[in-house]
Each structure stands twice: as C-alpha cells, then as structure tokens.
C-alpha cells in the first residue's frame, strides 16, 4: 500500500472526525485525518463547546455567584476584569485538549494531513497545504466531519470590533459594559447569562414567546425567572430589523419599533454546515439550504462509501451525538460488529446560569402524543446539599406514566444539572419506574437525593388525583 492510499480518509478533526478515525484505527484500519486549520479539535475544542463551558466556570469564579447563597455576599466583580483574566483558564484547557487529541491520533497511528481537502473523484481527495503543495489521497471509505460555522445575518455589515458571532467573540479586545445578544438559542442563552454574571448589562433578543421552547415549559419559565433575577433583560417576540453603526454605540432597531443601544453585539443566529469548497458537486452529493448533508440511518450520503457525521448533517449537532454518529458510521463501513446505532435516548444540557439538562418526554410532548403522565418535583431548597452549596433555586422534575409508574422524562435546572440527568437517563434506558428512586439508597447529603423526593412527590400527586371527592 502506498503512503497515499488508506482504508479511510476523514475530513475534519472535531469530535466526529477524531472519534470516527479512532474507531476505525482501533480495529486495524489505515487512517488519514485531513484538517485545514492549524489546530485540531474543530469548533468543539477551539471556538465552541469546551471554550464556552470553560468561560462559564471563569464567570462564576470571578463573579462569586456560587458563593452568594452561602454568605449573602455582594457578587459583583470586585475589580475590572480584563480579557486575559477571562481567557486564561480557557486557553489552558484548550492547550490541554490539543495535547489529548494529538496523543489519541498517535496512539491509534492515524496520519495527520494538514491542508484543504476537496474531492477529485468519489475515492480521491486533493489536499492543498498552507504553502500550496498538493497531495492526493485515496481510500475505499471517506468520512465527512467538517462541522459548522456561525451564520451571519443577511444585510448586516461586518464590524469585527463591535459585532461578533459565536467564534469571534473569543477574540474581543475588552469586556464591554453592555452587550446585546441577538438569538436566544442555546449559544445565545449561554453567552448572555455568562456575560451578565460578570456584571455586563445584557439584553437577550428572543424571536419566540419563551426561552428555549424545546424545554419543558416549566423549566423554560424557571430559567426566565432566574436569569431575570440575575439582572438579564429578556426581550421576547422580537427580532432586529436594522443595525446602525454610525455612532459610538451600536443601535439596534427592533421589529416592534423599539431600539437598543449597546457597546457590543453578539449574533447567535444559528450555524451552517461547513461544506463549501469540498467539491461535493464532482461526486454527486447534494447540499441542503443551510449547508447540511443528507444521510441515512447508517450515516451514508448519496454515495454509499462516503459517510457524514456531526454538525455537518445538522440536528442535533451536539458533541456527544457527533462522536456516536461517527463511531456507528465506521462500524457500518467496515462491518465491525461493535456498535450498530446511536441510542434513541439522547440527554441534552444547556450551560446557562443556571445549568439545565433533560432527557426523555416533557409534559407538553406527552400531551401532544396523547400519553397520560404524572409529575413529581423536588426543590434544591429542600435538599441538604442544595442548602450546603447555596443553590436554593434548583429543581428536579420527573415525568412518569400514572398507570405503571414508568419513568418518561427527567428535567433538571440548577447546579450540576448536566451530571444529575444521567441518573434518570439510566433508569429510562432500562425501562425503570420512579419506584427505583424510592427504593435506591443515595449518598447523603447529595443533590441526587432529590430524585427520591421527586418520586415521593409524584406518588403524592397521583394519590390526590385518585382520591374520590368528599361527599
């Protein structure tokens, strides 16, 4: 086999690309990984998932928000926070993750090829490096895992010093005194609460009548109430009609007739599949209106030996699902009897302040599907660990079937929500009932104990519903 002939070529080194390459290499396949950027990891490591979550921890540290409930202290920033202050931990984490990816590729003997890859034919990629050198790679299987990039709103001029997207906001020169976040999806909500925690005056412009409408309505309302107490201004049912950059402040004219004047603006208006320049038209692969690729249940494109996974195929576009999609794709491509499908039970976490996580059905989805459901809740304020850590606004909510008590969904808002949701996920996966939480012994004091009391509350609510009316 020549040096440019491989069993697998992977385009992109984000979560899907790295894990897909490693999956095939683990089973002895000769793999090349093509990456156009100078650093590995894609948006997940460099500009998106992990940097933003690290910045959240930095915001909590400098603001003292986690200590507010413990000591009742003033949680405003005690000194002017600089960009180096804010980015220090993020930069350290990103450097560590680069080293981890490098080590993973080396351990699996994956050949890293730096440059811009594009299809010449269905089995051949032309890779052009930074100096203009060209290398042609061929393989019987190709995985497209090129990720996504921020969508810039149509008609809005670029102003790198004052207008940001979710990538360029990491390059800000200073922490502004005021910020408008346009777009109240996951990214917008996360950054809005993060900057508000640091003392920035933040306005969040949301095009819908509630935040994150895919959440359980009660959890969405809990988020809105908590961010309002944080001092974040939420503008619902609005959009931006025009952006005026003529003055020292950025002036946003809203559809409803109002205006916002702020120092800086973050446009969090979705992401596009990074498929431009891949030469897909040469091999007969179509691209959707947002740059996404269409795949089947095995993550094959229209060309069966060309697979795609991760953000480039669209929803759900989570690092967790992207990794699994690529693993499943490679197991199918090489007929590896290891992993045949991505679990249908996908947990979701939103790293706002407060943190939110969910898995399974909501009350609303049950109604839409005609599924009878009961509900049980437990508040962090009634939990010993909640009192210890000072988070008295958190909540665990269970949705379950009233006839057999089978768990249907779990929703958590508050500290450690993204970790706690996995307790319920395990119960859901194995078809368990809320009686599991009642019978189980939890460490004390822990937030996880709230599952037991949410289950007790659910049984109590059920008993009250079944109780005959007084004669």
Pairwise CA distance, residues 360 & 35, whole Å: 36
pLDDT for res 321: 93
Instruction: Give the global pTM.
Output: 0.89
Q: Is residue 287 part of a domain?
A: yes
Burial class (CB in 10 A: 0-12, 13-18, 19+), 303: middle
E strands present in 41-140: 111-114, 116-121, 124-128, 134-138
Q: In terms of Cα–Cα distance, which of 358, 400, 58 is closest to 217? A: 358
Q: Is residue 349 part of a domain?
A: no
Same structural domain, 401 and 451: yes
Same structural domain, 86 and 168: no
pLDDT for res 2: 45
Q: Is residue 196 part of a domain?
A: yes
Pairwise CA distance, residues 241 & 217, whole Å: 28
pLDDT for res 170: 83
Same structural domain, 142 and 279: yes
Query: For position 316, which CATH number holds?
Result: 3.50.50.60
pLDDT for res 390: 86
pLDDT for res 225: 93
pLDDT for res 171: 85
Contacts of 447 (CB under 8 A, 6+ apart): 380, 383, 385, 386, 394, 414, 415, 416, 420
pLDDT for res 409: 98
Q: Give the DSSP letter of residue 110.
A: P
Same structural domain, 279 and 262: no
Same structural domain, 255 and 286: no
pLDDT for res 364: 96
Q: Is residue 281 part of a domain?
A: yes
Same structural domain, 135 and 39: yes
Same structural domain, 277 and 265: no
Query: For position 447, which CATH number holds?
Result: 3.30.390.30
pLDDT for res 69: 53
Q: In terms of Cα–Cα distance, which of 347, 343, 345 is closest to 412? A: 347
The residue out of 269, 291, 310 marking a domain boundary is 269
Pairwise CA distance, residues 411 & 218, whole Å: 9
Q: Is residue 52 part of a domain?
A: yes
pLDDT for res 67: 54
Pairwise CA distance, residues 36 & 18, whole Å: 14
The residue out of 215, 239, 269 marking a domain boundary is 269
Q: The domain containing residue 228 runs over which residues?
A: 163-269
Q: Is 339 helix (H, G, I), strand (E, B) or coil?
A: coil
**Blockwise average pLDDT, block size 10, the chain, 471 residues:** 82 94 95 90 77 80 63 52 74 86 92 94 94 94 96 92 91 90 94 90 94 95 92 94 93 94 95 95 94 96 97 92 96 91 93 95 96 97 92 94 97 96 97 97 97 98 79 54
Q: Is 430 helix (H, G, I), strand (E, B) or coil?
A: coil
Per the CB < 8 A criterion, the answer to whether 119 and 278 are in contact is yes
Same structural domain, 29 and 90: yes
Same structural domain, 240 and 277: no
Q: What are phi and psi of 213, to 5 degrees?
A: -65, -10
Same structural domain, 26 and 135: yes
Please tell me the total count of domains within the chain: 3
Burial class (CB in 10 A: 0-12, 13-18, 19+), 204: buried
pLDDT for res 172: 85
Angle at 348 between CA 342 and CA 352, to 5 degrees: 155
Cα dihedral 384/386/387/391 (nearest 10): -170
Same structural domain, 178 and 233: yes
Helices 186-197 + 217-229 axis angle, to 10: 30
Q: Is residue 232 part of a domain?
A: yes
Same structural domain, 134 and 201: no
Q: Is residue 413 part of a domain?
A: yes
Q: Is residue 391 part of a domain?
A: yes
pLDDT for res 1: 39
The residue out of 269, 287, 307 marking a domain boundary is 269
């Amino acid at each position: 086999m020549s040096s440019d002939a491989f069993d697998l070529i992977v385009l992109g080194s984000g979560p899907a690309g790295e894990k897909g390459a490693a999956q095939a290499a683990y089973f002895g396949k000769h793999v090349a990984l093509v990456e156009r950027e100078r650093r590995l990891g894609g948006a997940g490591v460099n500009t998106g998932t992990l940097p933003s979550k690290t910045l959240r921890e930095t915001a909590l540290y400098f603001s003292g928000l986690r200590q507010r409930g413990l000591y009742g202290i003033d949680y405003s920033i005690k000194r002017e926070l600089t960009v180096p202050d804010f980015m220090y931990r993020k930069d350290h984490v990103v450097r560590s993750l680069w080293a981890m990816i490098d080590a993973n590729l080396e351990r699996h003997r994956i050949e890293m090829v730096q440059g811009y890859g594009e299809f010449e034919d269905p089995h051949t990629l032309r890779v052009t490096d930074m100096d203009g050198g060209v290398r042609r790679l061929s393989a019987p299987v190709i995985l497209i895992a090129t990720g996504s990039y921020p969508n810039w709103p149509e008609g809005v001029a670029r102003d790198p010093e004052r207008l940001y997207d979710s990538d360029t906001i990491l390059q800000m020169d200073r922490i502004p005194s005021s910020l408008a976040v346009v777009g109240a999806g996951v990214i917008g909500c996360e950054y809005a609460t993060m900057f508000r925690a640091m003392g920035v005056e933040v306005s969040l412009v949301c095009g819908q009548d509630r935040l994150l409408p895919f959440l359980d309505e009660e959890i969405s309302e809990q988020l809105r109430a908590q961010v309002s107490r944080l001092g974040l201004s939420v503008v619902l049912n609005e959009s931006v009609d025009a952006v005026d950059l003529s003055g020292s402040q950025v002036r946003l004219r809203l559809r409803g007739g109002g205006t916002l004047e702020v120092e800086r603006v973050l446009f969090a208006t979705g992401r596009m599949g990074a498929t431009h320049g891949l030469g897909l038209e040469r091999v007969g692969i179509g691209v959707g209106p947002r740059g996404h690729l269409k795949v089947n249940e095995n993550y094959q494109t229209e060309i069966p030996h060309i697979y795609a996974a991760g953000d480039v195929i669209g929803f759900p576009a989570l690092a967790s699902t992207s990794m699994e999609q690529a693993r499943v794709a490679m197991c199918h491509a090489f007929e590896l009897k290891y992993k045949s499908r991505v679990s249908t039970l996908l947990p979701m976490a939103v790293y706002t302040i407060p943190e939110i996580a969910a898995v399974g059905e909501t009350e609303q989805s049950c109604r839409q599907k005609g599924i009878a459901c009961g509900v049980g809740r437990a508040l962090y304020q009634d939990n010993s660990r909640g009192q210890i850590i000072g988070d008295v606004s958190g909540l665990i909510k269970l949705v379950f079937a009233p006839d057999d008590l089978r768990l249907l969904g779990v929703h958590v808002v508050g500290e450690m929500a993204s970790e706690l949701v996995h307790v319920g996920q395990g119960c859901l996966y194995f078809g368990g009932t809320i009686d599991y939480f009642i019978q189980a012994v939890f460490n004390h004091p822990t937030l996880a104990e709230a599952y037991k009391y949410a289950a007790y509350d659910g049984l109590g609510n059920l008993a009250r519903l079944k109780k005959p009316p007084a004669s």
